[in-house]
Every structure is written in structure tokens, then in C-alpha cells.
Amino acid sequence: MAEIDTIVAILVATMRAGTPLLFAALGELITEKAGVLNLGIEGMMLVGAVAGFIAMVLTGSPLIGVLAAMAAGMAMSGLFGFLTLTLMANQVATGLALTIFGVGLSAFVGLGYIGNPIQGLPGLAIPVLGDIPVLGSLLFNHDPLVYVSLVLLAAVTWFLYRSRAGLILRAVGESHEAAHAIGYSVLKIRYLAVLFGGATSGIAGAYLSLVYTPQWAENMTAGRGWIALALVVFATWRPARVLLGAYLFGGITIMGLHVQAAGFAISSHLVATLPYLATVLVLVLISRDATRIKLNAPAALGKPFHSSG
């Protein structure tokens, strides 16, 4: 029984560790499906994390904290959209600049809140179902944002493959010229996709500062934004595979900690690098099948749209 409890605890921790990656990667998936490459996820997550934390400290409301994080992420992504979609700046360079800006801005804004712990977002135990042995703890005793991330996954999947709006979004990502020719507003669609990506990155940041480690610390995302970017490629732009990848990388993080706790003499620095080493390894393996990536990647990804009128 103890072994089962340990396994369940590892799986629950894996879901928690993978949740911020799932939020951020789903937002980037929608953004890239519209043909826009935003490398600024790390910066948006950090700004969302500090905004959510400050709002939570000032109001005591987790909901207001999450909403503030969403607004902060959308503000950052809106800036990215203005520079890349309206002014047609280079998307790669602008995304990198957004990350650098987000790192500095979050550190400055959160300077007075470092090391200030708060009461994290409480768990949401579902009556009756939460009392089921093993499955109850595994599936029905999480914090609300874990359930929101799974609902978002289902919504994104339905939107992309079952709705007319999702079909239009994918059409813009495949050929913005053709979409524009038949009367769709490419810039409007891309702006909405970029803002959605900013909102989910903000929530991902808020999850870290309000739930996962309920406090603010500089650079607390620790590269998770880059892992979320890699997940989109790992998933070949398919939502269900994003879930698999998020939990895979979350599981690697948790397993490293459990290996240390079991008494194995492994450096904490080495354990901290495991998710990133796994990211590199997966991308190397995926990149060997360039044809598959080319077939699944949006054809207009990263290409600026020049409206003729």
C-alpha cells in the first residue's frame, strides 16, 4: 500500500509540475497555428507570475491574482503583436527581446515582494469522487487550475478541429494570402491568437507564484517558457501531444527529486538540468524526421503579412 501511495504522490506531483507547461504550450500552439512565432513565453510568464502574486497580496483573492496575471500576459503579448503584426518587426528578434524585457520588468516590479510567502491556492476536493481509493487522490483532489488546464486542452482541441473559427485560424496559419483573398482579416485573427497566448502564459506564471511555490522569486520560471516552446514542436502542433509532453517533462522533474529523496548521491544541480537535457534530447530525435515536422508545421509560421489594402 505504501508503494501505491508513493506512486500516486509522484503522479499527482507530475500533474502539478506539468500544468504551467500545459497552459503556456497550449497558448503558443494557438499562436503558431495562426502563423505567428512568439519566443517571448518566458518573459510573459514572469510578468504574469509577479502581477498575479502582487494582486493576490493586495487583495487576498486568488481569482483576482489569476485575472491580473492574464491581463499582464496579454499586455506583453499585445506589445509583441503591435511590433510584429502592425510594424512588421522580425518575430524571432522581437520574441527574444520580449523575454529579456519580461525578465527585467518582473525583477524590478517584484523587488519588494521577494521572499514574501502567501497562502497558496487551496485544493479543490470533489465530494464522493475524491474519496475513491487511489483514483480519488489521483484525479479528484487537485487545485482548480489543474482542472482548468484540462478543460482548456479539450476546448482548444474542439476549437481547432470542430469549429469554423478554428478552421479559419488554421487557414490563416497555412496561407495568409489565401485567407485574406477570401475576405478574412488576417491581422485581427493573428492579434486574437497572440493575445490568447499571452493570457495562457500569464496563467502559467500565476500557477508558479500562487500554487506551485506560493511566493515570488526572480526568474522563478527557470526556463519553463523555453520548454513550453519546445513542447509545441515535440507535439507536432497537436493539443493531445502537448498534454503528453507537459506531463513527461513534469514527470522528469519530479522523478529527479524523488531519486534524491531516496538517498541517492546525485547533485541537485544535475537533477535541476534533467528536464532541459530531456528537452534537448527530444528535439534532437524529432529533428531527425524533418519531413514530418514540415508537414505538420503551419506553412506561414513566422512569415509577416503584407496587406495590399
Domain assignment of residue 258, yes or no: yes
Query: How many domains, in total, are found in the chain?
Result: 1
Task: Report pLDDT for 261.
Answer: 64
Domain assignment of residue 303, yes or no: no
The CA distance from 68 to 47, in Å, is 10
Domain assignment of residue 301, yes or no: no
Domain assignment of residue 170, yes or no: yes
Domain assignment of residue 302, yes or no: no
Tens place of pLDDT per residue across the chain (309 aa): 567 777 888 888 889 999 999 999 999 999 999 999 999 999 999 999 999 999 999 999 999 999 999 999 999 999 999 999 999 999 999 999 999 999 999 999 999 999 888 887 777 767 666 667 767 777 777 889 999 999 999 999 999 999 999 999 999 999 999 999 999 999 999 999 999 999 999 999 999 999 998 999 999 998 899 999 989 988 889 999 999 989 988 888 887 766 666 666 677 677 778 777 877 787 777 767 667 677 788 999 999 988 754
**What global pTM score does this model have?**
0.93
Task: Report pLDDT for 272.
Answer: 74
Domain assignment of residue 57, yes or no: yes
* pLDDT tens digits, 66-92: 999 999 999 999 999 999 999 999 999
What CATH number is given to the structural domain containing 251?
1.10.3470
Could you please report the per-residue DSSP string of 37-91? ----HHHHHHHHHHHHHHHHHHH--HHHHHHHHHHHHHHHHHHHHIIIIIS---H
Question: Which alpha helices (H) appear in the chain, and where do they start and end?
Answer: 2-33, 41-59, 62-81, 91-109, 135-139, 144-162, 164-174, 176-181, 186-207, 224-234, 239-261, 268-287, 290-296
Domain assignment of residue 125, yes or no: no
Helices 239-261 + 144-162 axis angle, to 10: 150
Residue 304: all three cell numbers together: 509577416
Task: Report pLDDT for 220.
Answer: 94
Nearest to 193 by CA among 21, 28, 304, 72: 28
Q: How far is CA 239 from the centre of its chain?
A: 12
Domain assignment of residue 307, yes or no: no
Task: Report pLDDT for 263.
Answer: 63
Task: Report pLDDT for 259.
Answer: 67
Task: Report pLDDT for 1.
Answer: 55
Q: How far is CA 247 from the centre of its chain?
A: 12
C-alpha pair distances (Å), 308 with each of 5, 35, 208, 291, 300: 62, 18, 43, 33, 17
Task: Report pLDDT for 251.
Answer: 86
Q: Which domain holds residue 258?
A: 2-119+131-296
Q: Per residue in 63-88, is it b (16+ CB within 10 Å) or e — as a string?
A: eebbbbbbbbbbbbbebbbebbbeee
Task: Report pLDDT for 187.
Answer: 96
The CA distance from 92 to 124, in Å, is 40
The CA distance from 9 to 137, in Å, is 8
Q: Phi and psi (nearest 5°) for 102? A: -65, -40
